[in-house]
Amino acid sequence: MSKLKIYGIPRSRAFRTLWLAKELGLDYDNVMVDFADGGTRQPSYLAINPNGHVPAIDDNGFILWESMAINLYLAKKHSAGALYPTALEDEARSWQWSLWGMTEIERPVLTAMFNRAVYPEDQRDDAAADAAEKDLQHPLGVLDGAVSKTQYLISDDFTVADLNVAAILSWARPARIDFGPFPKAADWLQRCALRPAARAARELQR
């Protein structure tokens, strides 16, 4: 039985899986594949993920890529009935929120972050960032409504659904997204971000 390998530097979307690994208390090796130095395009890495993206995992010979799929798999394998909801409907809702994060909020949060914090100042497009923030208004309202009824997305317990969405929204701070109109979502995001495993994963980014 070999140790779980998590491919991808912590400042990439591999952060999502590193956070989950810390929640689960897993013993893992973080293989530092970096996009900035072309590491994601090396033949040795393309053999793991032909898309040339991180994260990917090697779980004792089982290779998997796509951050949300990885997290749902690891949570189900190691924490069924706790971090991974097992009631049929709750399991489906954890897929729902994970897919929602990828399709409804990831792109605009990234666009705002790149144009407000990542690109060199003379290459930033303020209008694109503002338009992206505008696009987020409706989905953030949906999130705010969801966490007005319960502490977390599925119930009053933190699950992989919260982790997957909160990991995407970890970019909201550098993106300077105004959560003023979404106080419940802001509180929920804070609750998620203050978890010891989230802090430990952020430490890896320093």
Ligand X SMILES: N[C@@H](CCC(=O)N[C@@H](CS)C(=O)NCC(=O)O)C(=O)O
Give min distance, CB of 66 to ligand X, in A.
5
- Taking the C-alpha atoms of residue 169 and residue 65, their distance in angstroms, rounded to an integer, is 20
CB-nearer residue toward ligand X: 38 or 181:
38
Q: Which residues contact 164 (CB under 8 A, 6 or more apart)?
A: 16, 67, 68, 71, 72, 94, 97, 98, 101
Sole binder of ligand X in the list 28, 32, 52, 135 (CB under 6 A): 52
Closer CB to ligand X, 53 or 93, in the complex: 53
Q: Does 53 bind ligand X (CB under 6 A)?
A: yes
Q: In this complex, which beta carbon is closest to ligand X, that of residue 67 or of residue 79? A: 67
Cα gap 134→102, rounded to integer Å: 17
Nearer to ligand X, 38 or 183 (CB): 38
Residues 55-114 within binding reach of ligand X (CB under 6 A): 55, 66-67
- The distance of closest approach from Cβ of residue 35 to ligand X in the complex, given in angstroms and rounded to an integer, is 3
The minimum distance between CB 29 and ligand X, in angstroms, equals 18
**One character per residue 9-48, x = contact with ligand X (rule: CB under 6 A):** ---xx---------------------x----x--------
The stretch near ligand X (CB under 6 A) out of 52-60, 126-134, 149-157, 181-189 is 52-60
Among 54, 83, 109, 153, binds ligand X (CB under 6 A): 54
Toward ligand X, which CB reaches closer, 82 or 102?
Answer: 102
**Number of residues this chain uses to bind ligand X (CB under 6 A):** 10
Closest CB to ligand X among residues 102, 200: 102
Q: DSSP for the chain?
A: -PPEEEES-TTTTHHHHHHHHHHHT--EEEE---TTTTGGGSHHHHTT-TT--S-EEEETTEEEESHHHHHHHHHHHHHBTTTB--SHHHHHHHHHHHHHIIIIIHHHHHHHHIIIIIS-GGG--HHHHHHHHHHHHHHHHHHHHHHHHSSSSSSSS--HHHHHHHHHGGGTTTTT---TT-HHHHHHHHHHHTSHHHHHHHHHT-
- Positions touching ligand X (CB under 6 A) are 12-13, 35, 40, 52-55, 66-67
